Amino acid sequence: MMQIRFLTLTIFILLLLSSNGQAQQALTLEEAVQIGLENNYGLQISRNLNKEAENNRSLGNAGFLPMVDLTGSRRESIEDSEFRSADGTGRTNEDARNTNTNASINLNWTVFDGLTSFARYDRLGLLEEISDEQLRFDMEYMVSQIALSFFNIIRISEQMKVLENNIEVSLERIDIEETKVDLGSGSEYDLLQARSDLNADRAAFIRERNQLNEAKISLNELLSRDPLTDFEVTTEIDVNRFLPEDELFDRLMKENAELAIARFENEVSQLEIREVQGERYPRISLTSGYSFNRSENGGGFFQFNETTGFSVGITARVNIFNGFNLNRRVQNAQIRKKNAELNLEAQKLRLESDFQAIYRTYQNSIELVDLEEENLSNAEETLDIALERFRLGSISSLEFREAQRTFLAAENRLINAKFEAKVAETELLQLTGELEQIF
């Protein structure tokens, strides 16, 4: 009878796990992160924005290089013309063709602009640095999300194993109840209750399997691949119990990407003030050019007129008064600088608060893991004793079921405690830029 029950359980589990008809592929965390970093659409967009920032940092965009324009034109017309002098003589031309040809190349070079081009070039460099840090933040965030999704799949898989074992215990309970009924010492009520409890355990397994499917779809979305791509994870949740608080906090203040962005934005605001203040100084421009002009007149006294020449000049311009707009822009730039300083301090405070809260959660989670490991050991021993007493008939079916539930709850609490500790560990490593330690 027992062998038949275990065979039924095996068939039930295999049908559930292979319902999609596809072989599962093993996936490690390292492989998942590599796939996500290469394929994730959000990261591809971030990389493109980073390339755009790199392209914007150039001498030409900052205003150091001259502007050279080449222009050319040709105009033809057919006209009727009549000339008459004071002595009465005249001349009439019909359908006279006139042609004008012009070409020129001109250079305009601002050789002094109040040093705003230097400030602008430095600002473009900082914007590139901000883009680099933003890309780093996006990559770190993506790695953390992939890791958390991966650990969640491990958590659900472990819970499914627990439910499988629970179904085995429920099957053994039914076998004992059937034996008691056959011997006349049991009741149909207890047997029916045991079968109902088995169905409840199977339903819990099915619900957990559905959660596993949803978790896999979420991870596939992060990896930018087919949502129905199936895989399995074989590793367990291994918690790092010895993350040093002081060292991590120092890394947070030095390496956090969001804090680095806030620092760069503060420097950018200072350079914006320099750019605006540079407009108070004269702007000196050098101009040069070469031109060609030819005019052909079919009905005039001269058949054509042609000129060529080189020109050079220098222009100086200084703003005397523009309605106090320059002062207003300087004041607004100074306000933005103050806001950037406040934002930097706010970011420091927020990150420090997040760090302290997450680290306390991490410490508590480690304590919970130790406590739940002890609870599980006690619950396992209790279940073994209850099973033996149940066979001997010294405890009721309901008492045995309660011991079974206690053991199941202890296993789930331990799995969840490990998961919560790993979540806190991952978040700490993301804040401090140390995510490579998660592998």
201 and 101 share a domain?
no
**Model pLDDT, residue 299:** 54
6 and 136 share a domain?
yes
156 and 228 share a domain?
yes
Structure letter (DSSP) for residue 236:
-
Distance CA 283, CA 54 (A): 28
Better-scored residue on pLDDT, 246 or 1:
246
Q: Per-residue pLDDT averaged across 1-10, rounded?
A: 43
**Model pLDDT, residue 80:** 58
**Model pLDDT, residue 2:** 40
Residue 170 · residue 408 · CB < 8 Å:
no
**Model pLDDT, residue 296:** 74
89 and 167 share a domain?
no
**Residue 21: pLDDT over 80:** no
User: 228-275 pLDDT, tens per residue?
Assistant: 999 998 778 899 999 999 999 999 999 999 999 999 999 999 999 999
**Model pLDDT, residue 111:** 92
200 and 231 share a domain?
yes
157 and 193 share a domain?
yes
Would residue 279 be called left, alpha or beta, if left means φ above 0 and alpha means ψ between -120 and 50 degrees?
alpha
144 and 98 share a domain?
no
For the chain, the domain total comes to: 2
Domain end point (choices 291, 317, 343):
317
User: 88-140 pLDDT, tens per residue?
Assistant: 665 666 666 778 889 999 999 999 999 999 999 999 999 999 999 999 999 99
Range of the domain at 296: 66-112+283-317
Residues 109-123 as b/e (b if ≥16 CB within 10 A, e otherwise) read ebeebbebbbbbbbb
**Residue 302: pLDDT over 60:** no
101 and 139 share a domain?
no
Using only C-alpha atoms, the chain has a radius of gyration, in whole angstroms, of 40
70 and 36 share a domain?
no
Distance CA 361, CA 368 (A): 10
Q: Per-residue pLDDT averaged across 34-59, rounded?
A: 96
**Model pLDDT, residue 9:** 44
User: 130-158 pLDDT, tens per residue?
Assistant: 999 999 999 999 999 999 999 999 999 99
129 and 202 share a domain?
yes
CB atoms within 10 A of CB 264: 22
Mean pLDDT, the chain, rounded, equals 89
Give the helix/strand (H/E) hosting 303. Answer: none
**Domain at 204, CATH number:** 1.20.1600.10
Q: Which tokens go with 139?
A: 């990559």
Q: Per-residue pLDDT averaged across 266-293, rounded?
A: 93
Distances (CA, A) of 336 to 64, 80, 259, 267, 421: 26, 66, 18, 11, 41
**Model pLDDT, residue 359:** 97
- Could you tell me which residues are beta bridge partners of residue 98? 77, 297
User: 345-374 pLDDT, tens per residue?
Assistant: 999 999 999 999 999 999 999 999 999 999
Cβ neighbours for 276, distance < 8 A, ≥ 6 positions apart: 326, 329, 330, 333
180 and 89 share a domain?
no
pLDDT band at 82 (very low <50, low <70, confident <90, very high): low
pLDDT band at 61 (very low <50, low <70, confident <90, very high): very high
**Residue 192: pLDDT over 70:** yes
**Residue 300: pLDDT over 90:** no
Predicted TM-score (pTM) of the model is: 0.85
304 and 430 share a domain?
no
